[in-house]
Amino acid sequence: MRWLAQAFLAISLVEAQYASPNTTTPGNNDTNPVELNDATSPPFYPSPWMDGGGDWADAYAKAQAFVRQLTLLEKVNLTTGVGWEGEACVGNVGSVPRLGFPGLCMQDSPLGIRFADYVSAFPAGGTIAASWDRGEFYKRGFQMGVEQRGKGVDVQLGPVVGPLGRNPKGGRNWEGFSPDPILSGIAVAETVRGIQDAGVIACTKHYILNEQEHFRSPGDFGDVGFVDAISSNVDDKTLHELYLWPFADAVRAGTGSIMCSYNKINNSQGCQNSYLQNYILKGELGFQGFIMSDWDAQHSGAASTFAGLDMTMPGDTDFDSGMSFWGPNLTLSVINGTVPGWRLDDMVTRIMAAYYFVGRDRNAVPVNFNSWSLDTYGYQHAFAQVGYGLINQHVDVRHEHFRSIRLAAAKSTVLLKNSGVLPLTGREKFTAVFGDDSTENAYGPNGCADHGCDNGTLAMGWGSGTAFYPYLITPLEAIKNEVVSNAGVIQSVVDNWAYSQIEALAKQASVALVFVNADSGEGYITVDGNMGDRNNLTLWQDGETLIKNVSAVCNNTIVVIHSVGPVLVDSWYDNDNITGIIWAGLPGEQSGNSIADVLYGRVNPGGKLPFTIGTTASEYGPDLIYEPTNGSSSPQDNFEEGVFIDYRAFDKNGIDPIYEFGFGLSYTKFSYSNLKIVKVSAAPYQPTAGTTIAAPVLGNYSTDPADYQWPANLTYVNKYIYPYLNSTDLETASVDRDYGIDYEWPEGSTDGSPQPRIAAGGAPGGNPQLWDVIFTITATVTNDGDVAGEEVSQLYISLGGPDDPKVALRNFDRLSIQPGQSATFTADLTRRDVSNWDTVTQNWIITNHTKTVYVGSSSRTLPLSAKLEI
């Protein structure tokens, strides 16, 4: 029985790859929920092999030369993690001692370095997005990369563009940039370039549609019992025009690695979804790097190998199970002929090409910290508790990054309301500060594991996407410094429920600064009943009551919001006593200094909202799924709203937001004039044609099991994953009860012959002609006020079709303009920018609908417009 059950499980994994598509991609453009429900993902095999396209030729040649020297066991070592807490980093693959190659270290997070001391805590992705500043995106990426490099990290597990932010309650949205794919795409590309220019491989994640925390993985959910992983069901057009868009930008920017996600997509598990990994990512997008699994997101051995996965993390089937879907299994499946040698060669070539692409052969330093302890001496192999010695050299990798972190957070601060009281002078007679969010966490800045609490001022969310703070400058201390240096009076009440003290202090204040917040994070930690995802969009710690209590008695109340995304402000934003509202996001270690720079006018705010602030949660579209909808089977999350998320949904449904996407005030004023459109000639679009080369075979290997046995002299580390076999009898060596069953693997999965190239593909990111500039748009932006300021000028397009957003962002630039002066906003429009995804031809096309461009200061303040003559 047990044998049968296991065989059945294995076969159904295979079948999931075979399942014949008739409801979804490719070719389906139906967003009807009945069609999306139980959507299937079509099979696509073989897994495309790397070809050195784009600017990867040099790295490809070096990688091939390296891989050619490797034995089969060494190749397997580089694909398989050594197991959870097996080595110093959150993930490590095995080494190649024979060649002195130490393996690879993968480390969180998208905003700095998790689990290490003497590191910086940068602004979160969703906060830096509000700067709309390419230079800031790049600089933050570069500085994070420099810090990772200094600790000995090979792969930084970031940046994030999945979740994109379909629903603002999604727990990890703040790790990514914005629900707008263009803003996210530009931010991710600059971040990838920054990290990799510093000599560290970026891992863009989570691929794809990982839009909520609830049910992201199969598991036991307490009283509701076992529930299989959620399936994000999406149609082809929405995939291309929205969720895939920023991944294409990351691939074009050269991201060395991409992490596949926990969830299913169209009912096929992310890390073994052949359509998304083989066809879309490695085929159409021409991705040259390697696909790494999210931690325990691999659910099969050979099936995931054929479906395009290249590296398994952290290597074990479950944390510290001592078992792996790869490791010995992969060795076995190559020597028994299931997995062709070329497929393993391609996996390792991709991994090593990323290594050479960013120059790690020239600038790697040995790992000098240990994720599992800050102690100087401890166990190298934390789970096994062996290898006692020096594990943490406490290398300070921060340089002077605090200066740019302070400025970056200030530039990302969004001024939402100003009745003329801002900037403050510092000479206010009596300053009062309110809110738990203004002050220290009593447990210390790193006092809650993975920041899983909402105590004290909020400067990052919780979960694996965090870093240790070297310190956290609180708003209260920075404001106090300011006022005291001006000989003023300042007092504070930081207990949100001390009503009588709040009233007594607020009554005396000439200005009251109220700090409130809303938090979220990764689903393995629940904070105040929020299992990663937010339960609502209101403030935490009863922030609304705090605001009401202060503004009832103080006619100069300024509210500062630290939050992971949109919060509802409708109950108080238009109160006349509330004279200022500022969204400060998750600013990182310099939080207090950054907000003081804006409040006191040293930095003129120029940030713009990277999302919409509406009146109710339901305005944002379909809710997250918080309860099982399908018994223990995968909840079916149908993305039936298509491309209409965030401002596109508000525009489509005629809902006026309170503060729209792209909105943000300044201490000066800007006006727009003189729109000009120049058509740039570009060659007609050519679909990519022809065939690929055959799969390269790099070296040969013996099929004699005797060559793969455990070395007699190896010091075995408990629960560590090695590539060796326990027996010369393959059936004994395999723990698979159903060993020897010759499954019918998906058609084409072992075929290494030349394959047709994909029309919309051709180079990293997709068909290179998609990036041909076909229009250049300019406009004059004038600073009409009397202080210098920065304005983010925004270009939107209407593609004109009945199913197109009213307007969609296409480009932007942050201009610095002196009072009374003008600057020219210049923005290119590419072929991709004016195209729609065509499900029939499986390519981008320019439709006949009239296209209009708009230029202005937000998604709803677009004073300039003109038709495009295509």
Ligand X SMILES: *[C@@H]1O[C@H](CO)[C@@H](O)[C@H](O)[C@H]1NC(C)=O
Q: Which residues are catalytic?
A: 294
Interface residues for ligand X in 660-719 (CB under 6 A)? 711, 713, 716
Phi–psi pair at 659, nearest 5 degrees? -130, 120
Distance, CA of 551 to CA of 17 (rounded, Å):
59
Cα–chain center distance at 329: 31
**Which of 119/539 has CB closer to ligand X?**
539
Q: What does 396-451 look like in DSSP terms, one character per residue? A: ---TTHHHHHHHHHHHT-EEEEESS-PSP-S--SEEEEE-GGGS--TT-TT-SGGG
Size of the site for ligand X (CB under 6 A): 63
Residue from 100, 684, 740, 802 touching ligand X (CB under 6 A): that is: 740
Nearer to ligand X, 57 or 741 (CB): 741
For ligand X, which is the closer residue by CB, 325 or 620?
A: 325
Which of 25, 29, 156, 520 is in the footprint of ligand X by CB under 6 A?
29
What is the rounded (10 degree) CA torsion for 698, 702, 703, 707? Answer: -130
Distances from the Cα of 618 to the Cαs of 162, 192, 348, 646, 804, in angstroms?
22, 34, 46, 11, 21
Q: Are 164 and 243 in contact (CB under 8 A)?
A: yes
Q: Does 577 bind ligand X (CB under 6 A)?
A: yes
Stretch that binds ligand X, among 278-286, 536-544, 625-633, 780-788 (CB under 6 A): 536-544
Applying CB under 6 A, the span of 205-213, 265-273, 452-460, 580-588 interacting with ligand X comes to: 452-460
Residues 6+ apart with CB under 8 A from 668: 604, 783, 784, 785, 786, 787, 788, 789, 819
Q: Find the binder of ligand X among 11, 552, 655, 788 (CB under 6 A).
A: 552
Give me the helix-helix angle, 341-357 and 328-335, nearest 10°: 130
Smallest distance, ligand X to C-beta of residue 560, A: 17
At its nearest, how many Å lie between ligand X and the CB of residue 530?
5
* DSSP-derived 3-state class of residue 505: helix
Nearest to 103 by CA among 89, 93, 90: 93
Positive or negative torsion for Cα 533, 535, 541, 542: positive
Measuring CA to CA, which residue among 279, 262, 347, 333 is closest to residue 303? 333
Stretch that binds ligand X, among 222-230, 465-473, 535-543, 789-797 (CB under 6 A): 535-543
Residues 6+ apart with CB under 8 A from 224: 627, 628
| Rounded least distance, CB 384 to ligand X, Å | 11
Stretch that binds ligand X, among 182-190, 554-562, 749-757, 822-830 (CB under 6 A): 554-562
Q: Is 73 in the site for ligand X (CB under 6 A)?
A: yes
- 30 counts as binding ligand X under rule CB under 6 A: yes
Q: Provide, rounded to whole angstroms, the least separation between the CB of residue 486 and ligand X.
A: 19
If binding is defined by CB under 6 A, does position 803 make contact with ligand X? no
Q: Per-residue x/- mask for ligand X, residues 579 to 618, rule CB under 6 A?
A: x---------------------------------------
**Span near ligand X by CB under 6 A; candidates 471-479, 496-504, 571-579, 660-668:** 571-579
User: Phi and psi at residue 408, in whole multiples of 5°?
Assistant: -60, -45
Q: Where do the H-state alpha helices sit in 464-519?
A: 475-485, 499-508
Judged by DSSP in three states, 20 sits in coil
Answer yes or no: are the C-beta atoms of 155 and 105 closer than 8 Å: yes
| Cα 814 to Cα 302, 794, 830, distances in angstroms | 49, 9, 19
Residue 734 found at the interface with ligand X (CB under 6 A): yes
C-beta nearest to ligand X: residue: 94
Query: Is the Cβ of residue 368 or residue 778 nearer to ligand X in the bound state?
Result: 368
Does 418 engage in binding with ligand X (CB under 6 A)?
no
**Sole window of 50-58, 115-123, 403-411, 531-539 interacting with ligand X (rule: CB under 6 A):** 531-539
Q: Does 744 bind ligand X (CB under 6 A)?
A: no
The residue among 306 and 661 lying less far from ligand X, judged by its C-beta, is 306
How many Å apart are CA 799 and CA 157, to the nearest integer? 35
CB of 657 to ligand X, least distance (A): 20
Rounded to the nearest angstrom, the gap between the alpha carbon of residue 799 and the centroid of all alpha carbons in its chain is 27
- The 3-class SS string of 56-113 reads CHHHHHHHHHHHHCCCHHHHHHHHEECCCCCCCCCEEECCEHHHCECCCEEECCCCEC
Q: Is residue 529 at the binding interface for ligand X, with CB under 6 A as the rule?
A: yes
Round the CA-based radius of gyration of the chain to a whole number and report it: 27
Question: Does the footprint of ligand X cover residue 536 (CB under 6 A)?
Answer: yes
Q: Compute the half-sphere exposure of residue 286: CA atoms within 13 Å on the CB side of its CA.
A: 25
Regarding 373 and contact with ligand X (CB under 6 A), the answer is no
* Min dist. Cβ of residue 497 to ligand X (A): 12
Nearer to ligand X, 323 or 498 (CB): 323
Residue 102 or 785 having the CB closest to ligand X: 102
Q: Please list every residue from 830 through 849 that binds ligand X, using CB under 6 A.
A: 839-840
Shortest distance, CB of residue 428 to ligand X, whole angstroms?
11
CA 607/CA 409 separation, integer angstroms: 9
Binding window for ligand X (CB under 6 A); candidates: 129-137, 357-365, 739-747, 825-833: 739-747
Residue from 364, 527, 531, 617 touching ligand X (CB under 6 A): that is 527
CA distance 864 to 870: 19
Q: Are 216 and 262 in contact (CB under 8 A)?
A: yes
Find out whether 71 and 77 touch, Cβ atoms under 8 Å.
Answer: no
Q: Least Å distance between CB 51 and ligand X? A: 28
The answer to the question of residue 640 lying near ligand X (CB under 6 A) is no
Other Cβ atoms within 10 Å of 697 Cβ, number: 13
CA distance 144 to 150: 10
Choose between 202 and 527: whose C-beta lies nearer to ligand X: 527
CB of 825 to ligand X, least distance (A): 34
Q: Tokens in use for 403?
A: 């200066």
Rounded distance between C-alpha atoms, residue 216 and residue 239, angstroms = 19
* From candidates 24, 455, 749, 835, binder to ligand X by CB under 6 A: 455
Cα separation, 520 vs 501, whole angstroms: 29
Binding window for ligand X (CB under 6 A); candidates: 95-103, 289-297, 362-370, 461-469: 95-103
| 31 forms part of the interface with ligand X (CB under 6 A) | no
Q: How far apart are CA 47 and CA 695, in angstroms?
A: 10
Binding string, residues 135-174; x marks residues near ligand X by CB under 6 A = ----------------------------------------
Instruction: Please give the residues from 306 up to 345 whose contact with ligand X meets the rule CB under 6 A.
Output: 317, 322-325, 328-329, 332-333, 336, 338
> How crowded is the C-beta side of 812, counted as CA atoms within 13 Å?
34
Contact stretch for ligand X (CB under 6 A) within 213-221, 402-410, 450-458, 780-788: 450-458
**Residue 538 contacts ligand X per CB under 6 A:** yes
Smallest distance, ligand X to C-beta of residue 268, A: 16
* Min CB(475)–ligand X separation in Å: 17
Shortest separation between residue 452's beta carbon and ligand X, angstroms? 8
Q: Which is nearer to ligand X, 32 or 673 (CB)?
A: 32
Please state the closest distance from residue 854 (CB atom) to ligand X, in A: 25
Q: Which of 49, 355, 469, 540 binds ligand X (CB under 6 A)?
A: 540
- Give residues in contact with ligand X (CB under 6 A): 22-23, 27-30, 73-74, 77, 82, 94-97, 103, 300-301, 317, 322-325, 328-329, 332-333, 336, 338, 421, 442, 453-455, 527-530, 535-536, 538, 540, 551-556, 575, 577, 579, 711, 713, 716, 726, 734-736, 739-742, 839-840
